Structure 1
Amino acid sequence: MTHRPGRRRGIAAIVLLVLGAVILGGVTVAKAVNPPARYSEGRAAGWQMAPTYTDGESIYLEPVDPGKLRRGDVVLASVPWSLEKTQMNRVIAVGGDHVRYRPSSKTSGQYRLVLNGDPLDEPYLEQWKNPSAVAFDVKVPEGSVFLMADNRMNSDGSQYANNGPVPAANVSAKVVMYPMAKLAVWGQVAGGLVLVAGAVLAFVSRRARRRAGAPVAADAAPAEPVAAGAAGEHAVAQP
């Protein structure tokens, strides 16, 4: 079974055009329904969040509602233990949580914080055996967050008695790996490029079909038939 020239390219062009339209339309609708938060770019200061973020590393910041802070969020907050206006820390516990640590005891063979009675898994820590340099036992008040840095042995935080939990209102922004606003822009660019690729492929496919349908010129013109009378005259011998 033979296929028309350009048929496969035509099918691929249709797929790309539909895919590009879906991507571009989906991102546009998503932005209209739930616009991504505006973000700002900055740089990490200090080594308190190592190894997750190192000094001078570029970071993306998005505004965050204090009531929507979640455990594990890396935030920029005004804290009493920093001489700077704000400092990066990680939310370990939120209002109503009970968090504690005993350096003399192990949980599941490792030293871990205990959050609401369960061992806290912290894969972001560089020093697994040292989740805290001091013991503590804190019930976080409503409207507050318990903040600790990732570099626990070389940083300050809510675990120290003279610091304690911080009001959630002190959090000015959340540090994100990649802002949704930037992802939305790249999504629109990707959708546009797929549409362009589909249009180009459709043009190539159409051109191939036109070439296949054009008449093919003969290599040489057919010889004209020889008249019977003339052939007979040549065949008869002259006296």
Structure 2
Amino acid sequence: MRSRDAGPDATGAGPEPGASASEDHSARRSGLMAWLREIAIILGVAIVLSFLIKTFLFKAFYIPSESMVPTLEENDRIFVNLFVPRNFALERGEVVVFKDTKGWLPAVPATTSNPVTDTLEFVGLLPDTSQQHLIKRVIGLPGDHVVCCDASQRLTVNGQALTEPYVNPAETPRVVPFDVTVPAGSIWVMGDNRNHSADSRYHEGIQPGSGFVSIGDVEGQAAVIAWPLNRIRSLDSYPDAFKDVPAPK
């Protein structure tokens, strides 16, 4: 029978001095390494998922100008649906982001790039802030006859006058006459803020054919305002404004 006064080990072989402190340090270090590995895995998965989403589903963009007011405000961040026109045909009224392959934008002075920001934009964790894209609303599809303007100063598409609820109501749009037929593989685009948008109207006047945007240059359909928080919403393509437009002849 063991005495009540006996030590923790009846054989007298207690733990070596300092062993528990060493084990505790090793346990803490092992726990820290496991936590760091877990964080690294989470970040890696987030980056891969973001890159896949940006490549195949949605891509973020930054709005640098007022050309689409009131639909889009300067400094809005948006998500663009990459399935349009890749998998689904464009429709009149949709807001699209497209590459500036025809030099609509003025040359941008070279600036020092930030590798961190560039990387985050590339993988899709930050919106694209480059100056090589534009955003406008599709007014004419291939084959459409688009004219400005009728006796009531309204656009007509294939002879049908449009009522355009998306145009900035704060200003009466200036009349910029044009009469075009959209060629195959192209679209005619205009900004909602008509008096502050250097869109298809102005470039067609500079050089015939230069006002049309190639469908191949369209990145996708602007679907959602994602930032700022008080402006989060989906973007309307106003199908009712174009429902009576007949097919092109």
Category of TM-score, reference length = shorter chain: 0.5 to 0.7
Q: TM-score, normalization: structure 2?
A: 0.51
Which has the greater radius of gyration? Answer: 1
Aligned partner of 1:121 in structure 2 is: 163
Contact 1:112/1:129 (8 A) holds in 2 = no
Aligned partner of 1:152 in structure 2 is: 194
CA gap of 1:97–1:130, structure 2 versus 1, over 3 A, is farther
Matched, 1:86 2:86: no
Deviations 1:76-99 (A, max 9, x none): 112331233111111110100000
CA gap of 1:168–1:115, structure 2 versus 1, over 3 A, is same
Q: Which structure has more helix as a fraction of its residues? A: 1
Tell me by how many angstroms 1:128 deviates.
8.2
CA gap of 1:138–1:131, structure 2 versus 1, over 3 A, is farther
Alignment match of 1:43 (pick from 52, 62, 72)? 62
Deviations 1:5-57 (A, max 9, x none): xxxxxxxxxxxxxxxxxxxxxxxxxxxxxxxx621333212111111000111
Query: Which segments of 5 or more consecutive residues in structure 1 lack a partner in the other structure?
Result: 1-36, 180-239
User: Identity of aligned pairs, percent?
Assistant: 33
SS of the residue 1:65 aligns to: helix
Aligned partner of 1:59 in structure 2 is: 78
- Partner AA of 1:71 in structure 2: R
Quote the Cα distance in structure 2 between the aligned partners of 1:164 and 1:58: 26
Please provide the CA RMSD for this pair: 2.2
Query: How many corresponding residue pairs?
Result: 138
Contact 1:132/1:159 (8 A) holds in 2 = no
Quote the Cα distance in structure 2 between the aligned partners of 1:53 and 1:129: 16
Quote the Cα distance in structure 1 between the aligned partners of 2:95 and 2:162: 16
SS of the residue 1:159 aligns to: helix
Matched, 1:106 2:148: no
Aligned partner of 1:167 in structure 2 is: 214
Quote the Cα distance in structure 1 between the aligned partners of 2:201 and 2:194: 10
SS of the residue 1:60 aligns to: strand
SS of the residue 1:56 aligns to: coil
Structure-to-structure mapping, 1:131-146, within 5 angstroms: 131=173, 133-146=175-188
Q: Does 1 or 2 have the higher relative contact order (CA < 8 Å, sep 6+)?
A: 1
CA gap of 1:129–1:50, structure 2 versus 1, over 3 A, is closer
SS of the residue 2:68 aligns to: coil
Tell me by how many angstroms 1:112 deviates.
1.1
Deviations 1:184-224 (A, max 9, x none): xxxxxxxxxxxxxxxxxxxxxxxxxxxxxxxxxxxxxxxxx
Alignment match of 2:96 (pick from 40, 51, 75)? 75
CA gap of 1:91–1:82, structure 2 versus 1, over 3 A, is same
Deviations 1:116-145 (A, max 9, x none): 101112100014874554100000001100
Quote the Cα distance in structure 2 between the aligned partners of 1:142 and 1:170: 14
CA gap of 1:132–1:73, structure 2 versus 1, over 3 A, is farther
Query: Which segments of 5 or more consecutive residues in structure 2 lack a partner in the other structure?
Result: 1-55, 107-130, 227-249
CA gap of 1:112–1:138, structure 2 versus 1, over 3 A, is same
CA gap of 1:52–1:128, structure 2 versus 1, over 3 A, is same
Contact 2:77/2:225 (8 A) holds in 1 = no
